[in-house]
């Protein structure tokens, strides 16, 4: 009787797991890490990005933003996770660090975007050092797939132009953590009349446009990976860059 119960449990678990994968397997899920503190500086960002993605690409999106903690069981069903905020991130527990490491090693992508807070960025760097001791962020080179996963990026933009580079951490031969210091997602919010709410610094004429393109590229990178770095695509990319 006991063996029968165990077998039934395994069958049910497999069925439920397969259903979860099937329900979202062909959808992009915009997931965001929640922590104690100001983890959601731009609550309307998801709706704006979703609208733009649906009207610009063929990617189908899950209709709701997924808000996660590192102990959430849905973590491993979320290939793209955004970590943003203002102020210091509380230290993750050892168990949370271990889960995040396993998530990244299994193929997940973590995007870190500082919403104009040096405290946030310093604490995010602290947690990444705990995650991968001895590894440091490095600038992503111009030929990196993230700069051409959908649009060809002219320069690294955001609400503020503090750094001309995205930075990354390599895990298993791929970039699994990408960091922006430019408040990238701060360019998206609009008011009820459709006007942009956050001013840009220094206010270049194409600053918001380039930030929108880069935001979309990060999503497409999580979907396509290194596809745009494959040699077969390079002649087309170089021709487009030349034009």
For residue 93, what are the contacts with CB-CB under 8 A and spacing of at least 6?
none
Residue 234 pLDDT exceeds 60: no
Percent of the chain at pLDDT > 90 equals 67
How would residue 242 be classed by pLDDT, with cut points 50, 70 and 90? very low
Q: What is the pLDDT of residue 228?
A: 42
Assess contact for 130 and 152: CB atoms under 8 A: no
Q: What is the pLDDT of residue 154?
A: 94
- In this prediction, residues 42-48 reach a mean pLDDT of 89
Assess contact for 146 and 109: CB atoms under 8 A: no
Q: What letter would DSSP give residue 201?
A: B
Residue 144 pLDDT exceeds 60: yes
Q: What is the pLDDT of residue 25?
A: 55
- In this prediction, residues 158-177 reach a mean pLDDT of 95
Residue 135 pLDDT exceeds 80: yes
- In this prediction, residues 194-223 reach a mean pLDDT of 94
Kindly write down the DSSP assignment for every residue of 101-166, as one continuous string. HHHHHTT-EEEEEESS-HHHHHHHHHHHHHHSTT---EEPPTT-GGGTSSSPPSS---SB---SS-
**If DSSP codes are grouped into helix, strand and coil, which group holds residue 200?**
coil
Span 66-105, pLDDT tens digits: 999 999 999 998 889 999 999 999 999 999 999 999 999 9
Q: What is the pLDDT of residue 95?
A: 97
CATH topology classification for 26-242: Rossmann fold (3.40.50)
Q: What is the pLDDT of residue 7?
A: 41
Spatial distance between the Cα atoms of 177 and 169, rounded to a whole number of angstroms: 5
For residue 107, what are the contacts with CB-CB under 8 A and spacing of at least 6?
79, 176
Give the C-alpha distances (Å, rounded to integers) separating 168 from 57, 100, 126: 25, 16, 15
Span 10-34, pLDDT tens digits: 333 333 333 334 335 578 889 999 9
**If DSSP codes are grouped into helix, strand and coil, which group holds residue 174?**
strand
Question: pTM, whole model, 2 decimals?
Answer: 0.82
For residue 85, what are the contacts with CB-CB under 8 A and spacing of at least 6?
35, 37, 38, 39, 40, 41, 115, 117, 120
> For residue 202, is the peptide bond before it cis, meaning its omega torsion is within 30 degrees of 0?
yes
């Amino acid at each position: 009787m006991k063996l029968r119960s165990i077998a039934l449990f395994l069958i049910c678990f497999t069925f439920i797991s397969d259903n979860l994968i099937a329900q979202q397997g062909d959808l992009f899920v915009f997931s965001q890490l929640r922590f104690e503190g100001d983890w959601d500086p731009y609550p309307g960002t998801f709706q704006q990005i979703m609208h733009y993605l649906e009207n610009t690409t063929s990617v189908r999106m899950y209709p709701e933003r997924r808000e996660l903690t590192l102990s959430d069981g849905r973590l491993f069903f979320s290939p793209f996770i955004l970590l943003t905020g203002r102020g210091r991130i509380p230290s993750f527990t050892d168990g949370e660090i271990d889960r995040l490491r396993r998530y990244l090693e299994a193929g997940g992508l973590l995007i870190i975007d500082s919403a104009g807070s040096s405290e946030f960025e310093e604490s995010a760097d602290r947690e990444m050092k705990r995650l991968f001791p001895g590894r440091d962020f490095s600038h992503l080179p111009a030929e990196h797939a993230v700069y051409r996963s959908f649009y060809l990026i002219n320069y690294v933009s955001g609400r503020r132009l503090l750094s001309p580079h995205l930075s990354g951490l390599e895990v298993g031969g791929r970039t699994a953590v990408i960091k922006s210091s430019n408040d990238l997602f701060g360019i998206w919010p609009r008011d009820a009349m459709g006007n942009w709410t956050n001013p840009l610094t220094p206010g270049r004429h194409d600053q918001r446009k380039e930030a929108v393109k880069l935001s979309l590229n990060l999503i497409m990178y999580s979907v396509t990976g290194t596809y745009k770095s494959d040699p077969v695509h390079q002649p087309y990319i170089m021709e487009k860059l030349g034009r």
